[in-house]
Amino acid sequence: MKDGVNKLVIIGSGPAGLTAAVYGARADMEPLLFMGTKYGGQLMITSDVENFPGFAEPILGPELMERMKAQAERVGAKLVQDDVVRVDFKRYPFEVTTPSQTVKALSVVIATGADPKRLKLDSEMRLMGKGVSNCAVCDGFFFRGKRVAVVGGGDTAMEEATFLTKFATSVQVIHRRDKLRASKALQKEAFSNPKISFIWDSLVEEVLGSSKVEGVKIKNVKTGKESLLQVDGLFVSIGYEPNTKVFAGEVELDPRGYVVTRNGTTTETSVPGVFVAGDAHDHRYRQAVTAAGDGCRALMDAEKFVEEKLRG
Ligand code: NAP
């Protein structure tokens, strides 16, 4: 803090934000991180994490986030459990506002992530992490020798369905229309995979099972006919929504709401001094480890920016 101005404010507390905080604290940037009222990002709704380097045994998503948070605090980052409700990037120093305060910042890292879109069923939320998943790369491994269904007709659904055939005995794609939205190449790959079959014009009405997924109830939207499908897992792959509404009009967003970076190799946004890390920008890789790597890159960019500012 210099003259009431923070050197670095980080917004978001998933792997991207917390990694930026660890690097920031160690670089004497005295980071102030707004965690949001729900902290921890998508890992808070993930069960076993088996692909984060350094953990020979699986670790629960919330426990991994707890450790990242403890690490950030131990090295001196200041974490505040508050939502950012407004930012002003047109003034400098920047202003970041929560319901209880407005702080000034020489640099900002946006790490607010994205949320997978949901079917908005109570049963889907109840069985999340118990057979319902939004990420085949993260959870596909647990469905070796099992039957799964994938909801969606876009590129993500086709990629996830194809990926899941490595483990599952059958993958049924449930799509609400009779045509896929996915690219021709991904469609072709899915159509030619003998383990994948399609259920057209259908919506999932309920996920069945008490402590784990045992099936899904689906309804054909053309005939109104309901049927039950016995599966052990349901992958909801109907797109993502970046958590960037608060930045609209302040940094450039693409038409889907992802923060645009100025060039391919740095984390700079359209506003010098504002950087982005993780899923708020990255709709391609979306992994905890890539988000963490991005948090490190954003911090290094922010540190260089602030050093140059302070040097005058
Ligand atoms: P998307 O293209 O928006 O597709 C979402 C799919 O889910 C659509 O088929 C949609 O149905 C369906 N859907 C949406 N809401 C639904 C609901 N409430 N209930 C049932 N179905 C629902 O999303 P995405 O597949 O995640 O792709 C997002 C972007 O990333 C796209 O631009 C895509 O090209 C890109 N991407 C590219 C690659 C690649 O190039 N390898 C891989 C992944 C993603 P309708 O078709 O009826 O709308």
pLDDT in tens, 110-157: 999 998 899 999 999 999 999 999 989 889 999 999 999 999 999 989
- Label residue 45 by pLDDT band (50, 70, 90): low
Same domain for 244 and 230: no
Atom of ligand 1 nearest to the CA of 175: 21
Question: Total domain count for the chain?
Answer: 2
Q: What is the pTM of this model?
A: 0.78
Per-residue pLDDT for 1 more than 80?
no
> Domain limits at 150?
118-236
Same domain for 244 and 111: yes
| Residue closest by Cα to atom 37 of ligand 1 | 155
Residues with CB under 6 A from ligand 1: 117, 119, 151-157, 159, 176-177, 181, 238-240, 283
Report pLDDT for 41.
84
Per-residue pLDDT for 263 more than 90?
no
Per-residue pLDDT for 201 more than 90?
yes
Percent of the chain with pLDDT over 70: 99
End position of a domain, from candidates 236, 261, 278: 236
Give the mean model confidence (pLDDT) for residues 80-86: 97
296 flagged as catalytic = no
Per-residue pLDDT for 101 more than 80?
yes
Report pLDDT for 53.
96
End position of a domain, from candidates 236, 265, 299: 236
CA atoms in the 13 A half-sphere facing the CB of 159: 14
Annotated catalytic residue, options 48, 82, 115, 135 = 135
The predicted-structure confidence for 162-178, as pLDDT tens digits, reads as follows 999 999 999 999 999 99
End position of a domain, from candidates 198, 221, 236: 236
Give the mean model confidence (pLDDT) for residues 233-237: 97
